[in-house]
Amino acid sequence: MPREPHHQHVEVLIIGGGQAGLSLSYLLKQQGLSHLILEKNRLGHAWRSERWDSFCLVTPNWQCTLPGFPYQGDDPDGFMVKDQIVDYIDAYIAAFGPPALEGVAVTGVRRDAAGGWLVQTGAGPYHAAQVVIAVGGYHTAIVPADAARLPAGVLQLHSSDYVNPGQLPPGEVLVVGTGQSGCQIAEDLHLAGRRVHLCVGDAPRVARRYRGQDVVKWLDEMAYYDLPVDRHPLGAGVRDKTNHYVTGRDGGRDIDLRKFALEGMQLYGRYLSLDNGVARFGDDLARNLDGADAVYRKINASIDQHIAAHAIDAPFEAPYAPLWQPGPDAPATLDMGTVSAVVWCIGFRTDFSWVDAPIFDQRGYPGHERGVTAEPGLYFLGLPWQYTWGSGRFSGIARDAAHLLEHIVRRAQASSQVEAASR
């Protein structure tokens, strides 16, 4: 059936202009394939507007390997800070000039009668032969329902809205969550001299350096970053796991919450509820700290095995010994009258409700094989653990984008052959 004449037609439409969408655009342009990126904000928006001032990468700069644009700075073993990351993205954009429309929000995607895809946007409808959804997996900020019960004078914000300590009113701060964001924001406030109360969850941690080099370098040599999700011991379940906390700040170091406790940070177990101006926490603080350390030691032990198996000359390092232990009288409540601000660092939910296709499970996660869905011409790119640990990151997006490129090119060629035969 013919397309409605007012629909703008695009052969390949990419939704999202972060590193995923840009990477695929680079490869498509190399192939001479017509395409367009639609980005509701500005290209690279998340790096510009959803990171705090002291944010930095937790992986070394040498892992920044966008297609055709590897890191070329003078500090490959360092960790780019926020402004340097934005400069890296902007330089990539300038290097190849992706065809893109900024400030265009996509509100719906569905199959159309012509066999392609109808994409509704704030700038009018588009028709596309193939659509790539490259908006990552972090969409809706999670804030607990009882946050509404916080005292009126307490400022609360999500980690994606945190900028710096000066943004918060004077006083004590409650940080909820110990994934990468929670730990790094807690440290940022702690280093600024703020009194921090930190709710510790079950997130694991990892050493920054071990036995002479960065742990990321060891894991790279051990081919951990090449391990596909279908061969991971947890299988697809690894996609639900919280990232290990560590930091690249000031050249990179461990984040040890026990050290923070010795320095005056108050640690609690998992956040449970808020009633009558009192926050309540679980009795799992010691268990959560021990669990994080167990993962830390396990990763180090795997490096020890790698070193021994390959007879690598690496300096010996003694096993980690806990610096501090919570006592039996660890507090289980906090009177919020002493707190001026709360930073919720408990993650995001995915939201693909605007995509009308029978590919989602009960939780709204898209079914796919390395980003290729069962719906012809519909793909995803940049999802956490889409294929490997590096999926969606600077280190692994090139491989995922190249895989999708093969499918997109093959489908485009088949479509052209059918069209030519029908003339």
Residue by residue, pLDDT tens for the chain (423 residues) are 334 445 789 999 999 999 999 999 999 999 999 999 999 999 999 999 999 999 999 999 999 999 999 999 999 999 999 999 999 999 999 999 999 999 999 999 999 988 899 999 999 999 999 999 999 998 999 999 989 889 888 999 999 999 999 999 999 999 999 999 999 999 999 999 999 999 999 999 999 999 999 999 999 999 999 999 999 999 998 888 889 999 999 999 999 999 999 999 999 999 999 988 999 999 999 999 999 999 999 999 999 999 999 999 999 999 999 999 998 888 899 999 999 999 999 999 999 999 999 999 999 999 999 999 999 999 999 999 999 999 989 999 999 999 999 999 999 988 776 666 666
> Helix crossing, 19-31 with 82-96: angle to 10°?
20
Give every CB contact of residue 265 below 8 A, 6+ residues apart in sequence.
186, 190, 196, 197, 198, 257
CA distances from 231 to 215, 228, 331, 369, 388 (A): 21, 6, 42, 13, 10
The answer, as to whether pTM is greater than 0.85, is yes
* CA separation for the pair 404, 411 (Å, rounded): 11
Predicted pLDDT of residue 99: 97
Predicted pLDDT of residue 3: 40
Predicted pLDDT of residue 419: 66
Predicted pLDDT of residue 423: 64
Read off the DSSP letter of residue 293.
Answer: H
Length of the chain: 423
Predicted pLDDT of residue 418: 67
Asked if 371 contacts 383 with a C-beta cutoff of 8 angstroms, the reply is yes
* CA separation for the pair 28, 45 (Å, rounded): 21
Predicted pLDDT of residue 242: 87
Helix (H, G, I), strand (E, B) or coil at 86: helix
The owner of tokens 């946050």 is 147
Give every CB contact of residue 209 below 8 A, 6+ residues apart in sequence.
215, 252
* CA separation for the pair 2, 166 (Å, rounded): 57
**Where do the domains of the chain lie, and which CATH numbers do they carry?**
8-139+350-421 (3.50.50.60), 145-344 (3.50.50.60)
